[in-house]
Amino acid sequence: MKQRAREAAATALLEAAEHVASERGIDQTSIAAIAERAQVAVGTLYNYFPDREALLSALFKLRRDELVPRIIAAAAIASSDEQPFEQRLNLFLREIARAFDGFRRFCRVAMSADESNTPIKGRVGPGGKSVVLQTVTDGICAILSPVYGAKSEEYARMMFGSFKALMQLQLEKDLPIETVVDTIISTFLTGMPR
């Protein structure tokens, strides 16, 4: 019972950190602001996390552990060869957009971290890449590979770069991320309309 209560308290602190970081940005997120948001004393927060970096690292791990299985499941659904690759690509990107829409606050935090000098341990995997972003890129690459062969990774990165840029725009406008999927796919496959 005590362990569950401790886990619930830690999760509440992580959610408070996510709120503060999504509103202020990573660099402006302080332990004091997080404690205030969570309505606890700063000392109480230190009972759960030794410092700000550990708290932010735990937040990134929590959200990564929630997002990566959804991305992998979307890739598995889209891997069926029964549909043309355009439909599989559309399905995959829609599922990814829905997953990110479910974590909009965290997406704002992650994008803030991209622009920050604050190191967050565990944010990136081997090779210095975000685990979440690499998993999405791998899913796109797997769909493109039968059609584009050796160029698949290059195209997958280009496509996800576009997705990420439009996701940021949608977050700034407070609009659903899923609404940009058709634009990304049609622009990628047929070019920019005039």
34 assigned to some structural domain: no
CATH of the domain at 108: 1.10.357
pLDDT value at position 6? 84
Phi, psi angle pair for 130, to nearest 5°: -65, 130
11 assigned to some structural domain: no
pLDDT value at position 125? 66
114 assigned to some structural domain: yes
61 assigned to some structural domain: yes
Per-residue pLDDT of 121-169, as tens digits, reads: 767 766 667 888 889 999 999 999 999 999 999 999 999 999 999 999 9
How does 6-40 read in b/e, with b if 16+ C-beta sit within 10 Å? eeebbeebbbbbbbbbbeebbeebebebbbebbeb
pLDDT value at position 127? 66
User: What is the rounded distance in angstroms from the CA atom of residue 127 to the CA atom of residue 48?
Assistant: 30
124 assigned to some structural domain: yes
Quote the tokens at residue 90: 């559309």
pLDDT value at position 115? 82
> How many domains in the chain?
1
118 assigned to some structural domain: yes
The radius of gyration of the chain from alpha carbons, rounded to an integer in Å, stands at 19
Q: Which residues of the chain have pLDDT under 50?
A: none
83 assigned to some structural domain: yes
51 assigned to some structural domain: no
159: containing domain: 56-190
